[in-house]
Every structure is written in structure tokens, then in C-alpha cells.
Amino acid sequence: LIFLVIFFVISIIEMVNLKAANGSRALMFASMVTGIIHMILGILGTFVLKRFPTSFSVGFFLGVLVVLANQNMILTGIFFGYDYGNLQTNRIFANLGFCLFLVLAFFSVMLFHFKTEIVVAPIDTKHHAARTKAASLAGTSSPGESTNYSRYEDTA
């Protein structure tokens, strides 16, 4: 999350430097939109993994991670070779984009590897309170030990 905030700040600085040096409007737009998308990714990714870890939401989040990792790699190549604007800011933006590529790619691989432990079935989120109460009555130490959902009543 810290990388994403730093990337957002650097993208604003990059956009201002490109505008001051009459750089490419397309790259100004790309740097700003990429910074905004990464901030949204940090917020929504945390929300998805903490509140709604269903198979669809985790799979969608995984797809977004892979696309943004590839986008960071492309922007790294573009800004390393771009001579307009502040050359030092271009290099910083490109290096941070490459670091984010590595972080997002690693996180994507880890999320793919451990998706079975992260994904929660909709029945688990809907009846969480009923499961914990029934598990304590049944004498099991944790709700995950009992997987028989037929004895739980639908409280909705």
C-alpha cells in the first residue's frame, strides 16, 4: 500500500513536469490515470480481501492485478526511453513502476497459490454467526472443524 501511495505522488509530479516541459499529453494522461488506478486498487483490493473473499471477487481482483502488473512493465519501458520533461523524474517513475511490477506480480502469484485458503463460500459469509453458535454448542473448538451445513437453519 505504501508503494501505491508513493507511486500516486510520483505520478502527479511526473504529470506536472511533463506539462511544464510541453511533453506528450498521452504520457501525462497515462501517468495520472495509472496513479489513480493504483490508489483505487489499494483501497478496493483491501476491501475485497477483507470483506468479500468470494471466488468471483478474488478471481476478478487477481485478473486486475495481472493487468496492472503488465501495465507497469509497459510504462517502465516507455518512461525509461522518454527524453522530454525532467529526465530524473522519468527515471524515478520508471523505476517505481518496475518495483510495482515486481510487487504486483509476486502478490498475484501468491494470491493464485493460496486462493483456496482465501476464498470463502457465500454460505460461510451468510451464516457465520449461526456456525459459530452451533459450533460452540456442538463442542467443536472452531467453526472450520464441522462442515455439515445441513443442521444449520436458514435465519434469513
Separation CA 97–CA 113 (nearest Å): 24
The per-residue pLDDT for 150 is 53
Percent of the chain with pLDDT over 90: 23
Contact 42, 103 (CB under 8 A): no
Burial (Cβ within 10 Å: 0-12, 13-18, ≥19) of residue 22: exposed
Crossing angle of the two packed helices 2-20 and 25-51, in degrees rounded to 10: 170
Is the whole model's pTM more than 0.95, yes or no? no
pLDDT digits (tens, 9 = 90+) for 3-57: 778 888 888 888 888 888 887 888 889 888 988 998 898 888 888 888 888 888 8
DSSP-based three-state secondary structure for 21 = coil
pLDDT digits (tens, 9 = 90+) for 81-139: 887 777 888 888 899 989 999 999 999 999 999 888 888 766 655 554 444 444 445 54
